[in-house]
Amino acid sequence: MVRYILGRITVMVPTLILISMLVFTIIELPPGDYFESYVAELRAMGEATDMAEIEELRERYGFDKPAPLRYLHWVGGMLIGDFGYSFEYRLPVSEVVGDRLWLTVLVSTVTILFTWLLAFPIGIYSATHQYSWGDYGLTLAGLIGIAVPNFMLALIVMYFANIWFGVSIGGLMDRQFLGAPMSWEKFRSILSHIWIPVIIIGTAGTAGMVRRLRANLLDELNKQYVVTARSKGLHPMRVLTKYPLRMSLNFFISDIGSILPSIISGAEVTAIVLSLETTGPMLIKALQTQDMYLAGSFLMFLAFLTVIGVLVSDIALAILDPRIRLGGGSRK
């Protein structure tokens, strides 16, 4: 196991290097850079532009140098904790992210817990009561949850909240707390607003997890070892939890690779619709404005979390399922 883990960690290094090259290339693909977009925006608004200042900024941040040198400068800075400077916000990237990062972590973590707590009992019930009225009803609700996009559900909820109650449910806190330091009143405001985006964002994830858990659990319950355990008179709950449920959780462990980056990125489009103060809208705006260091730092952080998540899921799968062989070769 130790040899396997070391081998996977060794593979992570060239993987992250290749991802950093790909991210930098994608950000560089659009013609021009942030400063050209900024000048074009000022001219479209009829405002004067100080080209000397623009050229000074281009030279200060290395935009007058070849792309390979800019790439090395960017990667070298990240290795020592310097994620660069956001031209859009005129602040270092670490300061720009600020409260948005922990708000995103809070919303995503609560959403994941909501999904797990709701999906597991529903999936188990649906599998153990196959073709019952409850199974049909939950299946229909799950299909609707998968079919309706989160941003569409957010628009529907916002509309009826305004029509029926005359209130706006956008944002994660009351307006007077925007930009204010954390306090007990601000935290209470966040708790009073967070349940709406959690339910909206968690709907599709819950429905998808219920369907997968039901399918995998049904496959295990129909196997011979389960029939044998039942014939020996074991308690139904023990028969369910001893092996079938454990074996059906492989998909859940495999999802760790995608869960970790989702904690940081959040549901970008839904966050825009609900006006959430999370990192998702900031990432999209950084890509639109070619704010290179901000967008690149986001994407690299997401890639790092994905690689870590895949490593954790592989190790957990090897521990959970004894059928998985780490050697890779067939044994005779």
Residues 6+ apart with CB under 8 A from 1: 315, 318, 326
Work out the mean pLDDT of the chain and round it to a whole number: 80
pLDDT score recorded for residue 265: 64
Domains delineated in the chain: 2-92 (no CATH), 99-320 (1.10.3720.10)
Distance CA 152, CA 163 (A): 17
Percent of the chain with pLDDT over 70: 91
Tokens 């935009």, residue located = 63
Widest CA span in the chain? 85
- 224-248 mean pLDDT: 82
Helix (H) or strand (E) holding 240: helix 236-242
- 219-234 mean pLDDT: 84
What would the pLDDT profile of 84-131 be if each residue is shown by its tens digit?
Answer: 778 778 788 888 887 777 888 888 888 888 888 888 899 889 988 888
What would the pLDDT profile of 26-71 be if each residue is shown by its tens digit?
Answer: 887 777 677 777 777 777 777 766 777 777 777 777 777 888 888 8
Give 3-state DSSP helix, strand, coil % of the chain, rounded to 5: 75, 0, 25
Question: How many Cβ atoms are within 10 Å of 302's Cβ, its own excluded?
Answer: 20
Distance CA 273, CA 149 (A): 12
pLDDT score recorded for residue 167: 65
